[in-house]
Homo-oligomer: A and B are copies of this chain.
C-alpha cells in the first residue's frame, strides 16, 4: 500500500506494533521490506523507524534487525516550569520579592554539589507570589566566578532566574525532587503551618564545566507537578 511521508509511515508501523502484530522482543521486517510495502525509498523508512527507536518503541541493531522493545522504555518529558508562566496561565498576577541578598560563605553541602572550593557566591532568597500570596519560596546560590556580572544586576524588572537564562543561556543541569517538612522559616515564608509537606525542586546548572547556580524551590503543600508520557 502506498503511504505518503515518513510521519505517516512511522504511524502506520507504530499502530501495527501497538495492535500487537509482533510480540514484545520480536523482530519486525527490515527497512527494505517496508520500503517495498509502502512503495517508498529505504531512506524514508529509515527515518520513520529511527523515530520509533527514539520514542523507545523499538530497538535497532545492525545485522540483528529491528525489534519491538521487550520492556517498553518509557521516558517522561517535562518542560522546566517557568513560575511566571505557571501563575499567569491560571489568570493570576505574578510578582516576586527578594527577601535576602548577601554574600555569604557557601555551606559544604552546596559547595560539593557545585564543585567549588571557595569561589565567591551570592545568596538570594526570593518569595514568588500569585495575586500577592506566596506560592513558592526560592533559595539560590550564584557562583560569581562564573557570572561576575550577577553581583551588580538589578532584579526589580527581571527575576534572577530570567537574568541567568539570558546571560548564560545554554546550560546543562541536574534536577532533584523531594518532599520536605516545613520548618519555622519556610512555614513563615510560604504562610503555611509548620510541619507541612512541601514539594522541593533543586536544580544545579552548569556552563561548560563551571557551576552557575544552585537553586531550591519550595512549593506550597497543595502544589502538584504534572506531565505526560
Which residues from chain A sit less than 8 Å from chain B, CB to CB?
17-18, 24, 57, 71-80, 165-166, 169-170, 172-181, 195-200, 208, 219, 221, 223-229
Contact A170 B57 (CB under 8 A): yes
B170 touches A227 (CB 8 A): no
Give complex CA distance A23, B172 in Å: 19
The distance in angstroms between the C-alpha atoms of A9 and B140, with both chains bound, is 36
Interface secondary structure of A, over-half rule: strand
Residues of B within 8 A of A196 (CB): 181, 197
Contacts of A226 in B (CB 8 A): 174-177
Partner of A77, one of B57, B77, B176, B181: B77
Q: Are B74 and A76 in contact (CB under 8 A)?
A: no
A225 partner residues in chain B, CB cutoff 8 A: 176-178
